[in-house]
Structure 1
Amino acid sequence: MPITLRDVREHELDSVMALNNAAGPAILPMDTARARFFWDHAEYFRVAEQDGHITGFLAAFSQDAPHDSPNFLWFRERYERFLYIDRIVIARPRRGGGRGRAFYADVQSFAEVRWPLLCCEVFLQSGNDPALLFHGGFGFREVGQQVMAGTGIRAAMLMKELCSHAWVAQTYGGRLPDQPWLRARELSGRRPALATGT
């Protein structure tokens, strides 16, 4: 059956949290408050659905989010405008089926009309070479490293410049065409991000 990527629905937050917490040590745990924070503040928060089941999700935040992630804050201290991929989780039995690639193609399409940079990190631990290769294949490059306070985990900070953003910003300013594929999530009473100057 086909895989559908769509915005998460509020009643699915428990399913997202369970999927996150079953992912293993490479993904930071999520509680109810964190899931609610993602719902309220993530500019991009989509799930992969297949046969009526959620099989993965990706959440990303703009530079304006009130996020406390040390890796997010690392980027905010250095870059003015970006979309930060906080996490991508694919259910263990569904890994290797192309969902990660589908999410990254989708989040890039979402981001490039709104932000000049797409950012994320990969934990530098044994066995994570495939994750670094995956991101390299999508054009990400390392722009630094940091050790996360209190964890001892070293992360490679990755960034991709979105080459279409400058053209979109110059052509459309802050007003994108009213098309379904360009619509963004409504976030807690504030307007979602639009294309603006670099």
Structure 2
Amino acid sequence: MEKFTVLTGVAAPLSMINVDTDMIIPKQFLKTIKRTGLGKNLFDEMRYTPDGKEVAEFVLNRPAYRAARILVAGANFGCGSSREHAPWAINDFGIRCIIAPSFADIFFNNCFKNGILPIVLPQEQVDKLLDDAERGANAVVTVDLEKQTITGPDGGLIRFEVDPFRKHCLLNGLDDIGLTLQREEKISAFEDQRRTSTPWL
């Protein structure tokens, strides 16, 4: 998993509340078990018309936000089903941080496991960042995970909270497999001892 340390990029505003996982990545794209290739279908039904043409008004289709790295969203982001394809699609598009007043629990947890930093802030701070994000290409925001700060386009600083263990995992690029592999020597030693003591198993 890619490490998350300091992220600087354009923040895209998506103030809708209750954006569910089917809106993030519709069900017809869930056939793959690969984590790549889903970015083009992120928010598919909002980004494209039924015949596949881009909806010019949708935020991620606007020139200033096509390479957005941060998403500033409304409350209860990621609600609905538990599909892990939702953070896969967000990450594959290039968004590594989502800021919102609240998240659905399963989606929130899945973000950390896939290298995305979800940040919960009070509504008034989210509103300020949404206003900043409306600046288009000038909506450059820096998220510093080590310092737990968000720096806006005007230099304003917002502090955020994050679970220390999850922070450690993101800073070091450790998903569940990575955490397990940190104990590879002990696992190998146990397996060797078990083969010797119980060879019939």
TM-score by length of structure 2 reads: 0.30
Greater percentage in helix: 2
TM-score by length of structure 1 reads: 0.30
Query: Larger relative CO (CA 8 A, sep 6+): 1 or 2?
Result: 2
